Amino acid sequence: MPPWRRLLAMLNWRPVYDIEQRTKQLRIESLESENRLKLLKKENKRLAELNSRMDALLLSADSSSQTPPATGSS
């Protein structure tokens, strides 16, 4: 074995280790972003339902309210 390889072996230097660690970190970040995306989709659905309820409520309030009788301008 060449001397530089023996030195690296002695230091237990593995260039692949950095790649493995970065890959692991990217997998974790990917899972976290998937979870965030699921939560955002769930929240969007909930907000859309609330928005449609509010629209229905406003429509029913508008249709049930009567316009006040017109008074003569003096």
User: For residue range 3-34, what is the model confidence (pLDDT) as tens digits?
Assistant: 888 887 777 767 788 889 999 999 999 999 99
For 33, the token pair is 């972003």
CA distances (Å), origin 56, targets 23, 40, 48, 64? 49, 24, 12, 12
Burial class (CB in 10 A: 0-12, 13-18, 19+), 8: middle
pTM: 0.55
Residue percentage of the chain with pLDDT more than 70: 85
